[in-house]
Amino acid sequence: MKRLFLTLALLLLAPVAHAQGVVASADPRATQAGQAMLRQGGSATDAALAMMLALTVVEPQSSGIGGGGFFLHHDGARGLIESIDGREKAPAAATPTRFVAADGTPMGFMQAVPGGKSIGVPGNIRLAAMAHAKWGKLDWAALFAPAIALAEDGFVVTAPLHGSAAMLAQYWSDFPEIAALYAPGGKAVEEGARVRNPRLAQLLKDIAARGPDAFYSGDHAKAIVTAATTARHNPSDMTLADLAAYEAKERPPVCGGYRGYTVCGMGPPSSGATTVLQMLGMIERFDIAKLGKESPQAWHLLGEAMQLAYADREKYLGDRDFVSVPVAGLIDPRYLAQRSQAIRPNAALRSYRPGTPPGAEPRTAAVQSEVPSTTHFVAVDGDGNMVSMTSTVEGPFGSQVVAQGMVLNNELTDFTFAPERDGAPVANRVEPGKRPLSSMSPTIVYGRDGKPLLALGSAGGKRIIMHVAKTLVGILDWGLSAEDAIALPNLYFDKDGLMIEDSPAGTALAAGIARFAPARAADLGSKLTALEKTPQGWRGAADPRSIGTALAQ
């Protein structure tokens, strides 16, 4: 711990300045929006928020102002790291049995997703307003200009958007608003087609002109509530008061040490930082660098640490405003050293039970569902300010409900559906005004000199945490560039064992890992974006599995 405190002290005393800004996102149009803000003299925050708004238009299947996000910010002048929680909230009328069927059993996940009941009060606009007030340089309205142009003039449909629409169009007979936009005539919009969204353009214009209250009160708020409460499936109990009461929150970042580096991320209700730090802490006693990136044993060790860390996640993580979360205990080096002793270099543990971290209250574990969607983007400006932000509407096209041209999230299905297990309440049960547990993992890493050297994050539901951890190992242990570390095979698990990305490298690793543990190749896509400090300055990287791009100022 002394090393961690020393590193953090250096962090606070080490302002950073760089001559050129860089942005990266999962869509070229959003990346261009961020670049435009930097070229107008904007900050990293201005660039990140412009990307979030542009993604609302061009990536409606993954993110937008109808959802929420987490915002991690490094101040280049003061050396401070801060974070904002814009996670969606349950309506005041929500109860722990929200997703319990009439027979007393939890609803099926896909039964609960479509319609109003899954919609949380959106948080991204309040998050944007708070971030802009703290760190923005351009006028508020300037951030909206690229998104408004894309919605008004039209944008070209990408392969990811077409793929998501093609997957869901057959289910949209009860959702005419989303069908009209993305599957007119019952057929998904084709890649290369042009989509215009004038209602979304008008909504964005109104928020740009009148500020965040234009979203959370008045006609637009009424439209959101009406769409949620009159949905043909699972009508919601959301009210205008729920929207008016929503606030983004500043949260303390969670930071921990790894091999002399300091890794910082988002605290609860995100499980990202704690779980990433747990995995890194458990593998630190092994010489991962010597084993190398092609070693099945190295990936086996990472897989074992992953499953132990996720076991703790399911038991202890939730909205800290409602439940005690032993953050310090979960990342305590002594606790992680003890957890690590369960990992055997040449054999799988096979049973992965949660531990008892210092400060933990008695609790029952319960599995939470989360589908692989979401988006991530990063920005650094010429003054060394840096943003790592993850934004989401949860599953593909969220709840399938549209209001004022924007897709509304299905974030409330990130709650654990069964409110109790073994007669005791679970940490991530539904409660009024509560924010559901998230896997979003915006991350900033500091070097041994206390200066930032890396920012990253990903899409992918519960796999987000593992995508980020894998990339960190690739950079910090194996000395890879961010681009090459992102391209490493993805790793996850299910009840049958480890899953390695179905690629030539992943298939070879799966065969090797099978000597130690059940492992197989599987489809494990990701959508990582990153910034890395190089001798030549900051450099951006986007996942080769995505259409993402990085651009310099």
Whether 416 is in a domain gets the answer: yes
CA distance 169 to 171: 5
Domain shared by 145 and 207, yes or no: yes
Does residue 225 share a domain with residue 329? no
Say whether both 47 and 67 belong to one domain.
yes
pLDDT at residue number 1: 38
Indicate whether 9 belongs to any domain: no
- 431 falls within a domain: no
Position 17 in a domain: no
Residue 93 is assigned to a structural domain of this protein: yes
pLDDT confidence of residue 198? 98
Which stretches does DSSP call E strand in 112-253? 155-156, 194-195, 249-251
Give pLDDT, residue 422.
80
Cα separation, 121 vs 411, in Å, equals 9
Domains in the chain, number: 2
Whether 14 is in a domain gets the answer: no
283: domain CATH number is: 1.10.246.130
- Per-residue model confidence (pLDDT) at position 371: 60
CB atoms inside a 10 Å sphere around CB 224:
26
Domain, as residue range, for 535: 251-370+439-552
Identify whether residues 403 and 509 lie together within a single domain: no
Structure confidence at residue 363 (pLDDT) = 80
Same-domain pairing of 178 and 321:
no
Does 175 share its domain with 31? yes
Q: Does residue 86 sit in the same domain as residue 148? A: yes
Boundary of a domain, candidates 420, 455, 485: 420
| pLDDT at residue 15 in the model | 32
238 lies in the same domain as 282:
no
Identify whether 7 is part of a domain: no
Residue 34 lies in a domain: yes
| Residues 360 and 272 grouped into a single domain | yes
Q: List b or e across 279-307, with b for residues whose CB sees 16 or more CB atoms inside 10 angstroms.
A: bbbbbbebebeebebebbbbbbbbbbbbb
Looking at residue 7, its pLDDT comes to 38
Q: What is the 3-state secondary structure (H, E, C) of 208-219?
A: HHHCCHHHHCHH
Give the separation between CA 172 and CA 235, rounded to whole angstroms.
Answer: 16
| The pLDDT value given to residue 366 | 66
Q: Which domain-ending residue is among 420, 452, 487? A: 420
Asked if residue 296 and residue 397 are part of one domain, the reply reads: no
96, 230: one domain:
yes
User: Is 31 considered catalytic here?
Assistant: no
| Cβ proximity of 50 and 143 under 8 Å | yes
Question: What is the model's pLDDT at position 4?
Answer: 37
pLDDT of the chain, 553 residues: tens digit per residue: 333 333 333 333 333 334 589 999 999 999 999 999 999 999 999 999 999 999 999 999 999 999 999 999 999 999 999 999 999 999 999 999 999 998 999 999 999 999 999 999 999 999 999 999 999 999 999 999 999 999 999 999 999 999 999 999 999 999 999 999 999 999 999 999 999 999 999 999 999 999 999 999 999 999 999 999 999 999 999 999 999 999 999 999 999 999 999 999 999 999 999 999 999 999 999 999 999 999 999 999 999 999 999 999 999 999 999 999 999 999 999 999 999 999 999 999 989 999 999 999 888 776 666 566 799 999 999 999 999 999 999 999 999 999 999 999 999 999 999 998 887 888 999 999 999 999 999 999 999 999 999 999 999 999 999 999 999 999 999 999 999 999 999 999 999 999 999 999 999 999 999 998 899 999 999 999 999 999 999 999 999 999 999 999 9
Question: Could you say which of 374, 413, 416, 549 is catalytic?
Answer: 374
Residues 507 and 518 in one domain: yes
